[in-house]
Structure formats: structure tokens, C-alpha cells
Structure 1
Amino acid sequence: MDYIDFEHSENEEQKTDLREIASKTWVYTKKTMKWASISFVGFVLISFLVLVSLKWVNPSFTAFTLQEDWEEIGVERYSLKERWVEYEDIPQNIKWAVVASEDQKFWEHPGIDLVAIAEAYQEMEKGERVRGASTITQQVAKNLFLSSDKNFVRKGAEAGLALTIDALWGKERVLEIYLNIAEFGPGVYGIGKASDHFFDKEAEFLKDDESARMAAVLPNPKRMRVEPASPYVKERKDWILKNMMNLSGIAYYNYPEPEVMQDSVQTDSSFTFDAPFINRIQISRVGLSLSGISSDRTEKPDSSTTDSVKNREFRF
């Protein structure tokens, strides 16, 4: 009578089952990888098309407006397009104010400021308070597509988007979108709505002092207020006005004026800051050639004031 090895037979069946499971798992994995790759490529292409379209199409919302808890702040949802202000209708003073406040090398860099990033890294290594190195273009990328999370993944995505946006849109479009999506107060997005909300006027009629005050709250619009302005906001406003002068070469209010311009530029409080963005790279790098003022000499806040402007409320 033949002996049947049931144990060996069971082991062979188990091995066969395992091979079948492994084979099916590999087929499933390959399909998953294939569809994941297709989805990723599709996502990249769609994202690129969205970025390209935004060169001409004004966005109705941003990642930040979608995240906003409208019920808490007591306002209704609205489209950014409702109060959109075209670039040519935005007054020069608010353009100069935000550049002086947020990104003085805006017209020079390709979307990110490598020098500012290196300085911020050195400050972090020394254990000092890290000042924000985000450019206006990076803030546009963050506000439109990302979140306010403070981590290196978000910062990396922000930098990549900023380089792409700067290359695709150009500086004027970047500045236009920034001013129309920036938050100037809790739930107050865009220069059109902000000028009406705070000063009951259209953006094109903003005065220089008002523009500088609005730019002053941009680092933290939920804590700082345009109206009524705190002593700190007023300090930042004065600092911005000085830097507007230095960046443009235009004599401004009661601050010292370049001698070459004394005979041709009015300097009393009625003076309107209407310097156009001409010779942008030259202005940003060395100041208007008439004044000889370099952007490296932009005024710093008085160190005798509390904690000073340069060390407070900057973005990550």
C-alpha cells in the first residue's frame, strides 16, 4: 500500500496560493503605479494650464478665502472679481507702498530672493528671530494655492510656484493679482474692497498716507489695523513712506530730499506720490539716477522704538 505525504501536498498548495497572491498583488501594484503616474502628470498639466490662464483670467477665490470662516467674521461669501482693480487703475502710491513694505527687490529677482533666504537661514542658525524672506511672488503663490502652514514642504512648493509664476505672468501681473487678493483686515481681501471698507472711496483715489497705512498691516492683517492705526502701524507707515522715497528717488513729505530735486519737486503734505514704474530694474537696484539713492540704503525703523519694525510680525 502506497504512502501519501499529505503534509508535503499541503505545503505545495500553500506555495502555489502564495505565488498566485504575489502575482495578483504585483499586477495590482503595477496598475496602481500606472494610474498614479497618469494622475500626477495630469495634475501637473492641469496646474500648468491654470497658471497660464491666470495670466489673463482674474481668480474668483484663493485658497485663503476658501479657508476663511465667513460665519465667524460675520460677512458673506463674495467673489474677488466683484471688486477687482485692473493694474492700470491701481494708483502708483499703493504699488510703491507694497513694494517698499514687502519686497524691495521685487523688480530684480526671479520670484524668490536668494540673498534674503540665505540671511534668514543665518539668523536661524544663530538662534535669532528669523525675518520673513518671502517675496511678493511667493505670497501670491501661497495665497492662491497653498496654506499658511509653517513647514519646509509648503515653503518648497511655494518657491517652485513663485519661479513659475514670475516667468509666466511678468511683474505687473504678479503685482496686480497680489493687490487684489491680499488681506488688509479680517475678511477684507483686495485693494478694491479694502479702500472702500476703510476709507469709503475707490482705490484710484487713495492718498499716499492711506496707501502706506494699508501696506503697513500686510504682515499680519488679523492683528494689525488700518483704521484706527496703532502706534506700531503708524511707525511702520512712516518707515514705508521713507522707503518709497528711497526706492523711487522722489522727494517725499517732510523727509530730506535729494538736492538735485529740490527745485523741481514739491515736498509739502499735499504732494501726491505718482511716480510711475519706469526703468524698474535700475530703480530697484540703485534708485533713480537723478537722486543717486540706492535701494541698499532704504531707511530702517528707529531702533529706539519698541522692538522696532524690522523684528516684528514678519511672515514665515
Structure 2
Amino acid sequence: MLKSFLARLFSWLIRAAVVWVALTCLWVLAYRWINPPVTSLMIRDWAAGETVRRDWVPIENISPRLAYAAMTAEDQNFCNHHGFDFEAISKAMKANMDGGRLRGGSTISQQVAKNAFLWPARSWARKALEAYFTVLIEAAWPKQRILEVYLNIVEWGKGVYGAEAASHYYYGKGAARLTRTEAARLASILPAPRRWSPDHLPRGVARKARAVRRVMPFVQREMSGCLQLP
């Protein structure tokens, strides 16, 4: 009787796993063409009674300066990896073990997986699911689509999501009109957008913004082969 129960349980678990994999694959594939309507962070803000600012725009309507600034600040190997930058992860782990300021090694693809499909908690289960969705995203989406989704859903302040909303909120103009300095300052606050504002950067973040602005042309040359930005 026990063997029969275990066999049925195993069969049910296998079927459930197959259904779950099929559904998540279809979900990721759908987002290749359908813009994610909401993220868990937006739901969190709505639940807290906060105003959510978000205006989705195609990547053609976002200044390439902001795209290159974001890659410079967050993922300089974006076009050269398949979702995971193991060199950056290794550096992050070493810095954290040495007792320095905690830093992450997440790529843009991993951040899209976390923001578009998961919740903002820190746990091994969440990290495992993030890795799973990252693999699916890299397999199903071109790099240009990954970058487009990222620039439209990333948090850029309290209740501010995406490049267009951030550009209007901080600079009173559309994302297509951002200058190189404005783009570098926006990209530099991404690790802590609720603590920092591009208009009032702490000294260390301001130094990072200047470095991002300086390195952007080199990143642009590196990325030109895999991206078609205006």
C-alpha cells in the first residue's frame, strides 16, 4: 500500500513539474512580444497606497545614452554572457567575504527575471527561480528585448518605474531627450533608487556617475554588434 501511495505521489509530482515548466515557458515566451503589465514591486507600492508612475515606451523612444549608461553601470558584459556574468559574481563574492561594502553580481537579464516574474525577497528559493527564469529569458528573447523590458520596468525612485517615467519625474522631459550626463546620473542610482536622487547624489555616487559618463563610449563600441539602438 505504501509503495502504491509513493508511486502515485511521484507520478503526481512529475506531472505537476511538467505543467509548471510548460506554463512558465509559455509565460516567458509571451513576454517576448507582450509588455509585462505589472511587477511585484508595483503591486507592493499600490498596496502601500503609493502613486505608481509608469509609461511604457519602445526602446526606439529611449535615448541610447541611457541604455549605454545602464549597461555601463550595471552590466558591462551584457552582450557577451548568456545571463550570468561569472567574473562579476566572483568579484562580488570576494568583496563581500573581505568585509567590504556588500555588492551584487546580477546581470541585466537576472534583474529582468527578478522584476518581471518574481518577488523582491531574498532567499535561496527566490535566487534559484531567478536563475531558472534567466535561462528561459536568454533562450527566448533577443538581447534588445531584454534591454527594452529592463529599461521599462526597473525601479527609479519611490513609485517611479521605467525610463520614461523617471525622465519626466526628474527632468521634466521624455526619455528620448536625455543628455549623457543625465543618463549617467540616472544609471548611477539604480542600486538604491529610493535612497538616492540623480539631482542630489552623495559624493561616492556622483563619482560613479562621472565614471559611467566617461566609460559609456567604450561600452557603446562593445555593444554595437548585438544591439540596434537609435
What TM-score, normalized by structure 2, do the two folds share?
0.87
1:51 aligns with 2:28: yes
Q: Structure 2 residue aligned with 1:69, among 21, 24, 45? A: 45
Verify the 8 A CA contact 1:55 1:169 in the aligned structure 2.
yes
5 Å-filtered alignment, 1:55-134, equals 55-66=32-43, 68-70=44-46, 72=48, 74-75=50-51, 83-134=55-106
The aligned residue for residue 160 of structure 2 is: 188
Q: Structure 2 residue aligned with 1:162, among 103, 124, 134? A: 134
Structure ranking higher on relative contact order (CA contacts 8 Å, 6+ apart) = 2
CA pair 188-197 structure 1, distance change in 2 beyond 3 A = same
% same residue: 33
Task: Please identify, of 170-179 and 143-152, the stretch whose mean Cα deviation from structure 2 is larger.
Answer: 143-152
- Measured against aligned partners, the alpha-carbon deviations of 1:74-101 in whole angstroms (never above 9, x if no partner) come to 315x7x5xx2111222211001100111
Verify the 8 A CA contact 2:113 2:133 in the aligned structure 1.
yes
The aligned residue for residue 147 of structure 1 is: 119
How far the C-alpha of 1:71 sits from its partner, in A, is: 5.6
Q: Give 3-state SS (helix, strand or coil) of 1:69's partner.
A: helix
How far the C-alpha of 1:131 sits from its partner, in A, is: 2.6
5 Å-filtered alignment, 1:13-28, equals 23=1, 27=4
Verify the 8 A CA contact 1:182 1:190 in the aligned structure 2.
yes
- Measured against aligned partners, the alpha-carbon deviations of 1:130-164 in whole angstroms (never above 9, x if no partner) come to 43111011111111122333333322322232122
How far the C-alpha of 1:211 sits from its partner, in A, is: 1.2
Structure 1: gaps spanning 5 or more residues: 1-22, 250-275, 282-316
The aligned residue for residue 180 of structure 2 is: 208
**Residues of 1 paired with 2:105 and 2:90: CA distance?**
9
1:42 aligns with 2:14: no
How far the C-alpha of 1:228 sits from its partner, in A, is: 3.8
**Residues of 2 paired with 1:71 and 1:126: CA distance?**
38
Structure with bigger helix share is 2
Q: Give 3-state SS (helix, strand or coil) of 2:164's partner.
A: helix
Task: Please identify, of 119-128 and 137-146, the stretch whose mean Cα deviation from structure 2 is larger.
Answer: 119-128
- Measured against aligned partners, the alpha-carbon deviations of 1:241-269 in whole angstroms (never above 9, x if no partner) come to 012133236xxxxxxxxxxxxxxxxxxxx
The aligned residue for residue 279 of structure 1 is: 225
**Residues of 2 paired with 1:124 and 1:277: CA distance?**
29
Verify the 8 A CA contact 2:79 2:223 in the aligned structure 1.
no
Verify the 8 A CA contact 1:140 1:177 in the aligned structure 2.
yes
How far the C-alpha of 1:32 sits from its partner, in A, is: 4.1
Q: Which has the larger radius of gyration?
A: 1
**Residues of 2 paired with 1:173 and 1:162: CA distance?**
13
What do you get for the CA RMSD once the two structures are aligned? 2.4
Q: Give 3-state SS (helix, strand or coil) of 2:148's partner.
A: helix
**Residues of 2 paired with 1:228 and 1:127: CA distance?**
28
The aligned residue for residue 236 of structure 1 is: 208
The aligned residue for residue 247 of structure 1 is: 219
Aligned length: 227
How far the C-alpha of 1:116 sits from its partner, in A, is: 1.6
The aligned residue for residue 198 of structure 2 is: 226
Verify the 8 A CA contact 2:40 2:120 in the aligned structure 1.
no
Verify the 8 A CA contact 2:96 2:102 in the aligned structure 1.
yes
Verify the 8 A CA contact 2:45 2:51 in the aligned structure 1.
no
